[in-house]
Amino acid sequence: MMIHTELHAAGIDDERLRESYRYCRRLNAQHGRTYFLATRLLAPPQRPAVHALYGFARYADDILDDLDSTATIAEREARLDTLSAKFFSGTADPSEPVLPAVLHTARTYRIPLDLFDDFLTSMRMDLTVTDYPDRAALNHYMRGSAEVIGLQMLPILGTVVPTAEAEPFAEALGRAFQLTNFLRDIDEDLDRNRVYLPADELAAFGVDRDLLTWCHRSRRTDARVRQALAAQHDTTREVYREARKGIALLAPPSRPCVATAFTLYSEILDRIEALDFEVFSQRATVGNGRRVQVFAGGLVRARRARKYGAA
């Protein structure tokens, strides 16, 4: 019932378009629990567009990372190229269920198409790139895989300053979230033969891929790896500190959503540290009780912002 209210509030009446938005929402609810929870704090007309952006990103990512698929690299690349061609030609092909919604969102909010091009470029990198020699190389990847997601969101969230002033902080927030994922998911990423940490920064602590692989297989965190991950943790904290400044630049009704996502993702980082970086034997998560507590506080602020225009 909730999704029908959201779609109606957003003025989305075409049934094929509604089904695409519903599909994107299901992807968000299933795979992006923290992100989806935060979207509940947005005004109903905003939510379908955010779900569409998430759905498109997740759909493309699944083409590359579905471990249950027997598709070859060439087949995955062809599949991604097909999705890209249909997107940029504006073909809302129902065989690609995310396309009608994301194309409609991009048009409605005038989201620059080059942001989607940058995203798909980084997705293609995942087909062949398995390591990043330094921070510059990793940042190049994150430009498309994380920063542009923040930029795509800005027209939906709205700002109280010219958009260009908010953009660096939106980029930083996307980068902070992804760096958190890289630390949390290092074990899972090794299953895909990928390491999303700068090799030169790891090497400063005597860590290389072979040692990470040993940790992965033994389910233990070597002392050298622990030190290296602690340094990556500190670097990520700095990115969060920069990103936080951008929340006040958003339209007041959107701030509780972003602040909630900020809090919950940064607490994943806290949890990684609390586990003493034992990320090869357990997954760092924020408990449901804490998630509900943060959401409840955000809900109060969201309702106040919608009523009085301040968060």
75-131: pLDDT as tens digits = 999 999 999 999 999 988 888 999 999 999 999 999 999 999 999 999 999 999 999
Question: Does pLDDT of 311 surpass 70?
Answer: no
Same domain, 96 and 169: no
In a domain, 247, yes or no: yes
186 and 120 co-located in one domain: no
Tell me the one-letter amino acid at 276: D
Whether residue 101 lies inside any domain: the answer is yes
Residue type, 99: L
User: pLDDT (tens digit, 9 = 90+) per residue, 246-257?
Assistant: 999 999 999 999
| Residues 277 and 166 both lie in one domain | yes
43 φ/ψ angles, rounded to the nearest 5 degrees: -65, 145
Contact between 215 and 221 (Cβ < 8 Å) = yes
The predicted pLDDT at position 305 comes to 84
The CATH number assigned to the domain holding 2 equals 1.10.600.10
- Residues 255, 259, 261, 265, Cα dihedral to 10°: 160
Q: Output phi, psi for 132, to 5 deg.
A: -125, 115
The reply to whether 217 and 276 lie within a common domain is yes
Alpha helices, H only, the chain:
2-9, 15-31, 33-39, 47-65, 73-88, 99-108, 113-128, 135-142, 148-157, 163-184, 186-191, 199-203, 209-218, 223-244, 255-274, 288-308
User: What does the pLDDT average to over 199-211?
Assistant: 98
In a domain, 80, yes or no: yes
Sequence-ordered list of residues with C-beta below 8 angstroms from that of 31, at least 6 positions apart, any chain: 58
Q: What is the mean pLDDT of residues 274-281?
A: 97
Identify whether residues 112 and 184 lie together within a single domain: no
Q: Say if residue 111 is in the same domain as residue 168.
A: no
For residue 195, which phi and psi values (nearest 5 degrees)?
-130, 115
| End-of-domain residue from the set 106, 128, 150 | 128
Average pLDDT of span 277-289: 95
Give the chain's domain count.
2
> Residue type for 107, please?
R
Quick one: 42 and 183 in the same domain? no
Both 190 and 286 in a single domain? yes
In a domain, 285, yes or no: yes
Q: Is residue 145 part of a domain?
A: no
- Calpha distance 206→288 (Å, rounded): 37
What is the distance in angstroms between the CA of the first residue and the CA of the last residue of the chain?
A: 27
Same domain, 179 and 266: yes
- 33 falls in which pLDDT band (50, 70, 90)? confident
Say how far apart CA 201 and CA 133 lie, in whole Å: 9
Q: Which tokens in the block code for residue 118?
A: 């940058």
The mean of the pLDDT values for the chain is 94
pLDDT of residue 171: 98
- 170 in helix, strand or coil? helix
* Pair 265, 198: CB distance under 8 Å: no
| Domain, as residue range, for 278 | 158-310
Q: Which residue has the tokens 């089904």?
A: 19
- In this predicted model, what pLDDT tens digit does every residue of 13-22 receive, in sequence order? 999 999 999 9
Tokens of 255: 């701030």
**Are residues 106 and 175 both part of a single domain?**
no
